[in-house]
Structure 1
Amino acid sequence: MGVEVEQRSRTGDTRRNVVALLVLVVVAAAAGFVGNLLQGDDVGERYLALDRPAWAPPQEAFGIVWPVLYLLIAIAAWQVWRTSGGLAAARGPLTLWAAQLVVNAVWPGVFFGAGAFWPAVAVILLLDVLVVGTLVQFWQRSMLAGVLLLPYLAWIFYATGLNLAIALAN
């Protein structure tokens, strides 16, 4: 009898973990989807038309980098959710995580959609602060979650420099 209850409990935990991971992946991907909608059409052409620094990535890099980053962002959040013991216990770090995703989704609309390069600098600086805060909170809950956010932080800092360089040149 005890083995059956334990097995059912493990099965329920596994199911709950998988559902939570899928939800977090969908939420992170939705941020990317909203960002794509807000940036408008012909983004590749508009990016190529900008005066960009020599160290700017080719436009193809964005389509490769962002899906990987969104997946890492989701897995990091899942790790915090899982190691904290659920949503209630992880509310603070996951609220910060959600806030940075919202700002992440807004930035393409400001930079590409509106062509407002200097306001986009302000948005991405806010994103930098939120990502650093999220990483610190995540690291305190799970070193793995913090490590999973390091590539995102590096890319965001790189994007901040690129945004600033483009604002100065255009």
Structure 2
Amino acid sequence: MAVSVAGRRIGRRELLGALVAAVLINLIGALGVPFTTPDSAWFQALEKPWFYPPGAAFGIVWPVLFSLMGIAAYLVYRRGLGERAVTVALGLFALQMALNVAWSPAFFAARELLLALGIIVVLWVLIVATIAAFARVDRRAAALLVPYLAWVTFAAVLNYSIWALN
């Protein structure tokens, strides 16, 4: 069985691979969830900027972004780990994922707003590097990371604003 996407036939194996990658990245991304405590008295007491989104937005946006990231990583991975460009791209991807997961404990558990800001700035740089590396392998994969970069840009501004206000 195959389906057609944008005029290109995609087989069951490719669809399954993309789905598994999306689920895997969502599971990795969820590692930070136990540390994320927006209902805590500490977080509630923080002054937040006027543009702070409703809490439900985070629970909607992150799974979508993690799914796009998983599909992007799969598109790169399927080119073959024997290619240096693929291993570099996936190495950068793994590094930025580690920083993504590290942000929540720094912000919520350690309550270190400035440390969290430093992490998210480095994360932003690594996402840009990952997009460039993915583009060398598969431009579609790079494009799938652009919404993630946009959201992390917003999150960095939000993190900075919370730090500055408090």
TM alignment of 1:126-145, pairs within 5 A: 126-145=122-141
CA–CA distance in 1 between the matches of 2:129 and 2:44?
A: 33
Of the three residues 21, 27, 38, the one matched with 1:43 is 38
Listed as ranges, the matches of 1:143-158 within 5 Å are 143-158=139-154
Paired residues in the alignment total 153
How far apart in 2 are the matches of 1:48 and 1:73? 30
Structure 1's unaligned 5+ residue stretches are 1-12
**Corresponding position of 1:52:** 48
Check if 1:92 corresponds to 2:88. Answer: yes
1:24 positional shift = 2.2
Aligned equivalent of 2:8 = none
- Give the match for residue 28 of structure 2: 31
Deviation >4 Å, runs of 4+: none
Kindly provide the amino acid, as one letter, of the partner of residue 50 in structure 2. Answer: A
Alpha-carbon spacing, 1:105–1:163, altered in 2? closer, same or farther (3 Å): same
Residue 39 of structure 2: SS of its match in structure 1?
Answer: helix
Greater fraction helix: 1
What's the C-alpha RMSD, in Å, of the aligned pairs? Answer: 1.8
* Per-residue deviation, residues 9-63 of structure 1 (Å, max 9, x unmatched): xxxx853x35543442233112222111233xx4234544321110111111100
Of 100, 105, 109 in structure 1, the residue corresponding to residue 101 of structure 2 is 105
Aligned residue identity for 1:136: A
CA distance in 2, matches of 1:160, 1:116: 14
Q: Report the Cα offset of residue 114 of structure 1.
A: 1.1
Give the whole-Å Cα distance in 2 for the aligned partners of 1:67 and 1:34. 13
Query: Residue 120 of structure 2 corresponds to which residue in structure 1?
Result: 124
Query: Which among 150, 163, 166 is matched to residue 162 of structure 2?
Result: 166
Aligned partners of 2:29 and 2:66 also within 8 Å:
yes
> What's the TM-score once normalised by structure 1's chain length?
0.82
Higher strand share: 2
